[in-house]
Chains A and B, each alone.
Chain A
Amino acid sequence: MRISVSLFLLAVASTAAFAEAPADFLNAYAQEAKQQNPGYKGPSPQQGQRFFTSLHGHEWSCSSCHTSNPVTAGRHEVTNKVIEPLAPSANAARFTRQAKVDKWFKRNCNDVLGRACSAEEKADVMAYLLSVK
């Protein structure tokens, strides 16, 4: 019990200590994409939207659960559970913590693409999500 309490406190403390802003993720992914490809032209909201709403060889797109209008709440394809809006303009809690963002990009990219997303893809999606109001 004492272990779980201290773990809880640790988790709370790390939440406060590593708080990020959504734009930080956009910048970090864009920078990473630039490093991987010197000809990289920068993130594109249009490309991000296309990526977000398209199928990638598997049964779901990002928009299957998050809807093609990410300022609205979505629904989980399997459990029917409500998913809070993904766009930071509609949900201030989104993209504010590195560990959470890393975890969910990893899980969801695996489900949607069957692989990890590239920095370029993530930068485009961030640009798209930051552009919708």
Chain B
Amino acid sequence: MKSKILVWDLPTRWFHWLLALSFAGAWLTSESERYSALHVMLGYTLLGLIAFRLVWGFAGTRYARFADFAYSPAKIGQYLKSLASRSPGHYLGHNPAGAVAVFLLLALGLATGISGWLTYNDIGGEAYEEVHEFLANFMLLVVGVHIAGVIVSSFLHRENLARAMVTGYKEGETDAAIRQKRGLVALLLVAAVAGFWGLWFNGNLDSLVSGQAEAHAGYDGGHDDDD
């Protein structure tokens, strides 16, 4: 029997929208020195979020697990072909094309964040600056394709995928539902991000921004820069 069932747990949803926010923010703060501290903060946030998602890909609920959407290239091709047919393939969790976007965005986010960190801390020469910019552009392109895919898939299957990523619910068989929202983990994730931003704006993490802990006046020499 079909009904509204829970598909996306809360940590997965919060992760998704916080990542989208961090990436959009990092993009918008990239062109002016005025926002460079904010840009760096959002880069750290993005890296932290992805680190969480890598763990959640093994520890999360059914549809959040990597094993649930690790499709073979053949399956991905098959799905894309089916989109042009009369009976487009339907998946309750990530469809094969969406799965490609997830893995690509995780990898690109990680590589963009790390190359940005290397650039900002003057490690490995100037080459990483261009690598960082290239990866960020590539990531924006994948985000664009991802959004286009969500729109196309939402129309084809007459289900609002973006709303499902907000509410967690989709139409499906009752026994395919996940049982837990995992609210406590989501709370910890959001609290970690909020706490990090709080410390950042409060100036506790200035050593991460200036790139030199010792030279900063008032720095207590502690280990509060361990993120």
Binding site for B on A (CB under 8 A): 4, 7-8, 11-12, 15, 65, 76-82, 97, 99-100, 107-108, 110-111
User: Is the Cβ of B37 less than 8 Å from the Cβ of A78?
Assistant: yes
* B interface residue count range (under 10 / 10 to 19 / 20 to 34 / 35 or more): 20 to 34
Interface of A is mostly: helix
Taking A4-B111, A81-B209 as given, write out 5 further A-B residue pairs in contact, using a Cβ cutoff of 8 Å, ordered by the A residue number: A11-B126, A65-B33, A76-B36, A79-B211, A111-B32
Question: Which of A12, A80, A81, A107 touches B127 (beta carbons < 8 Å)?
Answer: A12
Beta-carbon contact of A7 and B134 below 8 Å = yes
In the bound complex, residues from chain B placing their C-beta under 8 Å from that of A15 are: 126-127
Is B154 an interface position by the 8 A CB rule? no
User: Bound complex: CA of A81 vs CA of B31, how far in Å?
Assistant: 17
Q: Once the chains are docked, how many angstroms separate the CA of A78 from the CA of B40? A: 12
Scoring B residues 119 to 139 as 1 if CB is less than 8 Å from chain A, else 0, what string do you get?
000000111101100110000
Please report the C-alpha to C-alpha distance between residue A79 and residue B32 in the assembled complex, in whole angstroms: 12
A to B CB contacts below 8 Å, 6 in the list = A11-B126, A65-B33, A79-B37, A79-B40, A82-B215, A99-B130
Residue pairs across A and B with CB atoms within 8 Å: the count is 58
Q: Least Cβ distance of B157 to chain A in Å?
A: 33
Question: Is B33 in contact with A108, judged by CB distance below 8 angstroms?
Answer: yes
Q: Does B209 lie within 8 Å of A110, measured CB to CB? A: no
Main secondary structure of the interface of B (DSSP, over half): helix
Contact status of A4 and B37, CB under 8 A, knowing A15-B126, A79-B210:
no
Please name the residue on chain B nearest to A77 by beta carbon: B33
Contacts of A97 in B (CB 8 A): 126
Residues of B with C-beta under 8 A to A7: 130-131, 134
Contact yes or no, A107 B33, CB < 8 A: yes
Judge whether A76 and B127 touch: CB under 8 Å: no
Contact A110 B31, CB 8 Å, known A7-B134, A80-B209: yes
In the assembled complex, the CB of B124 is this many whole angstroms from the nearest CB of chain A, namely 9
In B26-43, which residues have CB < 8 Å from any A CB?
31-37, 40
By the criterion CB–CB under 8 Å, are B34 and A8 in contact?
A: no
A15 to B128: give the CA distance in the assembly, Å.
12
Cβ B135 vs Cβ A4 within 8 A? yes
CA of A12 to CA of B115, assembled, Å: 15
Q: Which of B40, B127, B211, B212 contacts A11 (CB 8 A)?
A: B127
Check if B68 is an interface residue, CB within 8 A of chain A: no
Q: How far is the CB of A33 from chain B (nearest CB, A)?
A: 26
